[in-house]
Amino acid sequence: MRPTPLPQTVLPRCLASNQLEKHMASVNKVILVGNLGADPEVRYLPSGDAVANIRLATTDRYKDKASGEFKEMTEWHRVAFFGRLAEIVSEYLKKGSSVYIEGRIRTRKWQGQDGQDRYSTEIVADQMQMLGGRGGSGGGGGSDDGGYGGGRDAERGGARPAGGGSAARGGGSASRPSAPAGGGFDEMDDDIPF
């Protein structure tokens, strides 16, 4: 069955009909939210850059049609972090930590000791957001929101806090601005429109 073509009003004239395939960009983007199955494994490259690897569990819930019961299926993912992002992962994440990760899929090929080709698929993380509170399994971290990004520099060691702050470079937690003096909910106007 052939998909219905988009009307030409939706596509720019240069991309209409069969020219669309010639101009389409590819996308390699992965978003995962899950929990670490073990503490991060950290090693250092000869250049001195850190590499951290984690095993991340994601769980899908579904209803079994035969029994009517809800069941869970857990999928395990290998995730690699590079540079400053790897250092942050090694410092703040631990087994059980809940984390949001954005990255891309990479498949590597090598030969085993038996001479057979082996393949390994992993996610190379560009962004990471620690979930949970500072006292919980999510850790906390170097920025107020716990988020870090690496973008394309992640593999070269140029990770930066996603929130735009500089707390990750200092290695400690950022100081939060103090809350304004005064009351809280008691001083709110009663004419809130919802």
CATH of the domain at 63: 2.40.50.140
Nearest to 157 by CA among 65, 51, 6, 54: 51
3-state SS, residue 154: helix
Structural domain total, the chain = 1
pLDDT at 87: 96
- The answer to whether residue 164 is domain-embedded is yes
Please name the amino acid found at residue 88. I
**Full-model pTM:** 0.59
- The answer to whether residue 130 is domain-embedded is yes
Distance (Å, whole) CA 184 – CA 173? 26
- Among 17-21, 64-68, 79-83, 176-180, which stretch is predicted with the lowest mean pLDDT? 176-180
- The answer to whether residue 71 is domain-embedded is yes
Residue 89: pLDDT band with limits 50, 70, 90: very high
Count of beta carbons in the 10 Å neighbourhood of residue 45: 13
Residue 24: pLDDT band with limits 50, 70, 90: confident
Q: What is the pLDDT of residues 25-46, one digit of tens each?
A: 899 999 999 999 999 999 999 9
3-state SS, residue 167: helix
Distance (Å, whole) CA 49 – CA 160? 15
pLDDT at 5: 58
Cα 39 to the center of its chain, rounded Å: 17
- Domain span including residue 45: 26-168
